[in-house]
Amino acid sequence: MPHVVRGLAAFNAVFTRLGVMIAACLMAVMTAAVMLQVISREMRAPVGWTEELSLASMVWLSFLVGPWAYRQHSFTRIDVFHDRLGTRAQRLLDLAIHAFEAILLAGAIYYSWHFFLRGTSLLPALTTLLRDIMGPVVGVEAAQALTVRNYSVYMVLPLGFAGLFAVSIEHILRAVWTLTSGLDRSVSAETEPEGHGGAEGIVLPEFDDDDPRGGGSGGGRG
């Protein structure tokens, strides 16, 4: 169990951090495109490709940041019921929630993949921009064969859902590890400074279902 969790955690850490870095660049691109769009409209000379570029950037950055946010438990959640449970009940509830999320995400991967495959329609403004940029490089005739289609936007959907699914599996394994070891094996526990948990985990309170004050988020909730 420890080797599997740590291997998956290492993969998810790299994947989510890379997604955040790419999303940060896309945020800058989207901001610049929106500013150019506003300025060009004020000057009565709207630039058509700015809207398509900003929308595509928004979709990409949303699905690239999602897995990181899920792994860090940064999604909005309601803890009123959860915090009233005993420690063991909290861990079991975390496990059930992540298992349910994994099932939903598996379906989302399937349907988003088929949605991606159907995205064959053209993005006309970005296609024109690409041809104008590549024309002097590859020649006008060759540039006319270049297109930007909707699947270039939709491809991030199955990728993002796959990242969320991998994080969900990590949370499930961490919840099981927490229940079997009696130590907090959540992502947040591993990021604590040395002496406050770290790789050895944080010692949990005794598993007492009647104790409403028992322990934090255990395996973690999205």
pLDDT tens track for 148-173? 888 888 999 999 999 999 999 999 99
Per residue in 25-56, pLDDT (tens digit) is: 999 999 999 999 999 988 888 888 999 999 99
Q: How many residues are given for the chain?
A: 222
CA distance between the termini of the chain: 22
H runs (alpha helix) in the chain = 2-42, 49-71, 80-83, 87-117, 124-138, 140-143, 151-154, 156-181, 187-190
pTM score over 0.75? yes
Phi/psi class of residue 139: alpha, beta or left (left: φ > 0; alpha: ψ in -120 to 50)?
Answer: left
